[in-house]
Structure 1
Amino acid sequence: MTRFRALDGLRAIAALAVLTSLVGRHSDPPFGALVSRLDVGWAVFFAISGFLLYRPHVLAWFSGAEPPLTLSYLRGRALRILPALVVTVALCLLLGSSDAAYLRWALLTPLLFYLLLPGLGRLLTGYERPTRRSVRWRMLVLVALTVLGPVWMAVVTATGHPQARLWLPGYLGWFAVGMGFALWQVARATGRLGTSALDTLTRLPGTLWGIAAALLLIAATPLAGPFDQSEPAPAQALLKNLLYTVIVACVLFPVLTPTAQTVRVLGGRIGQLAGRLSYGVVAYQFVVLALVDAPFVVLLPVTLVGSVALAAVSYRWIERPLTRLGKNTAVARTVSSASNPTSNPAR
């Protein structure tokens, strides 16, 4: 299966952006408006997850193979994310972290998407052959999902239900961006879709990243709402979510068919290591912030170093061993099923 090495570095950058924005919530940072909008890193994380997790469904659809096994997929996801999640939540409860609500949203929103993905993947890749028409129809469905997030944010804000802004529909559009790119990438690689202007854009990563930076500056204005936890207007809630959706599309797209320089910068040895630790950094930052109280210029490097250290220890002694154990168990079950043709593994 294709290895998208540049995604590792992009995932690490997203983790750094998320960490910086959360540190800004705990201190009084310079350029506070821009720092607060670095929570766009969450959108990048969600889009990468949508791309990587939906792509196997698309590959199976195009090749006429069976879709990924649901139980194997869920087991793999659980072994990858639950260990660090459980440790983080336990330590935050023990330390009396003030980020309990934010932690619950940040770590449970992806979990909900992971649980929905097998059904969503089957729904979008079943019922007909992968012709050019069927691919375009599914692309339209995924585009519609990207619109759902901004509309949801505006509606729940206008109707006085601010807690509903924390629910999955408000962020499903960011996952859908990655899913749409997965469908486009496989369709282009197999000839189901012809060339278009998008192919030209893949060779201009600097242009797309420049557009993303410009949109982030627009998001760092009052047009996209307050920079703290104050209540936004419906139009502000819609615009912020929409800007983040377009930003993540501009950031992610060039990495899917990267230039050689992009791979060297984002997909080198350092980028790959940082990408492996990125989830742990995002999780364990909550633990460090529960322990340290300092000005932004001190709190940022302390939180970064502490989170990286905890993530490295967790990955080496908890996450990687459990992931390998899960893979070995899956291999053993596959061998057992092959030797027993009457078995029928659950899907």
Structure 2
Amino acid sequence: MASRTPLSVIDFCTIYPGETAGESMSRSVELARTAEELGYSRIWYSEHHNMATIASSAPAVLIAHIAAKTERIRLGAGGVMLPNHSPYVIAEQFGTLAELYPDRIDLGLGRAPGTDMNTLGRALRRDPNAAERFPEDIMELHGYLTGDSRVAGVQAVPGAGTNVPLYVLGSSMFGASLAAKLGLPYSFASHFAPTHLQQATTYYRENFEPSEVLSEPYVIAAVNVTAADTREEAEEQTRIVHRNRVRTMLNRQGHHLSDAQVDQVVDSPTGRQIIDMLKFTGVGTGEDAAEYLEKFTALATADELMVSFQAPGSQEAVHGMRLLGRAWGLDPADTAGAPGDWGL
């Protein structure tokens, strides 16, 4: 089979109903082992806070645990919400990971809070203007990781000289513009924010400025997949995924509805707006999903796909991962096939 675009995975460390965070994280280990076995390129974990269904609030800690339970697959943050932290602390954390697991660690960076405004201000105590320093914070972080610190007399230990690869994450034109200007790889969050995908990736490619990090643009586009043995089964799983997503979004807003009420909302304009966030989703058999991803790759002009497996439960998600991996023709020998060392 002809070589295809590298496939990677984003794992939200979902806490399913009746499950603990610890059980969720144990499943994430098994998910990573399966992805490694099948030949997926990397797995990323995203920083979220105060969300009852997501256990990836501390990506660096989670990565350390999963890296110890796997052998070669790349692991990273997709991403760390940099304005929530000092660049120095992130350099130390990911520098530590890079020393423990050489050539396996990625660091995707976002500027969103990854939480609600109450948590942001009262619990995280984040400066309301912190996001405005995002470009400068990236460059400060870059300096710590290369050993060329921008802060006189301060080096990150561990961190200096690890050259952990940096990626700019985004769902708008801001991230595309910044990644192009800095000459960094760009990852678009089209798995939940589909609106500006083509505009952002086109702008990034057309305006990319080569840097010491990267000579040519590199686009990672995120996409959802629900794969099952039959199309009918995948479509039924999709209906459950949509219902659960509407319920989760309404719960975050303080609305706790019965199943019948949730079903009513699913068919309402509000429900459709929530479901439309999953616009880019391949549904069907493994072959159906693979065909969809081929078309999506062309649409997004993607060099790599970051797949979010949407399923009612963990068993269905892992099975979908296997079905897609086989249909895509993944080779376990190419597990670390996606670029990681950008020549920092």
Q: TM-score, normalised by structure 2?
A: 0.32
As a proportion of its length, which structure holds more helix? Answer: 1
Larger RCO (CA under 8 A, 6+ residues apart) = 1
- Structure with greater Cα Rg: 1
As a proportion of its length, which structure holds more strand? Answer: 2
